[in-house]
Amino acid sequence: MPGNIDDILNQAMENGEFDNLPGAGKPLNLNDTDSLGDPTWKLAHRIMKENEIVPPWIAEKKDIQQKLEAARGKLRKAWEWRKTAPVMELAKAEDYWQRAQDTFRMKVDALNKRIFDFNLSTTILSQHLLPIRAEREIEKVVKE
């Protein structure tokens, strides 16, 4: 069974499948707002861009993703210590690993609540986030 879309895209990037796309390495032209149609929206987008204003839903999505990455990092660090712990500290390392998993699960629960609220707040379905599956995340760390 193939991985999730992020895994597939990351693998494609690592394989260089996006390296020779037209316009690669060039900045996007975000000044072309003709596709927005409505002059009010054009003005709103220009004002937001010029003042570096980020819509709240974009900021929320970014914060959720950053918090998930931070939680994953702590989980990886705990697993690395558990994996490499000397025999004399194995019980201590196992206890630390169990506590790290519990903490990760609690963080995932909190993030999933935010994801639920986020998905309700944005009408752009392509921007919706999938709930995080804590056990799957833990399994991925152990298998790395």
DSSP 66-104: HHHHHHHHHHHHHHHHHHH--GGGHHHHHHHHHHHHHHH
HSE-CB at 104 with a 13 A cutoff on CA atoms is 27
Tokens of 80: 């690395």
Q: Residue 77: what residue type?
A: K
Does residue 1 register a pLDDT over 50? no
pLDDT in tens, 76-114: 999 999 999 999 999 999 999 999 999 999 999 999 999
93 to each of 1, 39, 90, 135, 136, how far by Cα in Å? Answer: 33, 61, 5, 20, 21
Going by pLDDT thresholds of 50, 70 and 90, the confidence category of residue 51 is: confident
Domain ranges of the chain: 56-144
**Which residue type is seen at 108?**
V
Please enumerate in sequence order all residues whose Cβ is within 8 A of that of 30, keeping only pairs 6 or more positions apart, or say none: 49
How far apart, in whole angstroms, are the C-alpha atoms of residue 83 and residue 143? 11
- pLDDT given at position 61: 94
Report pLDDT for 134. Answer: 97
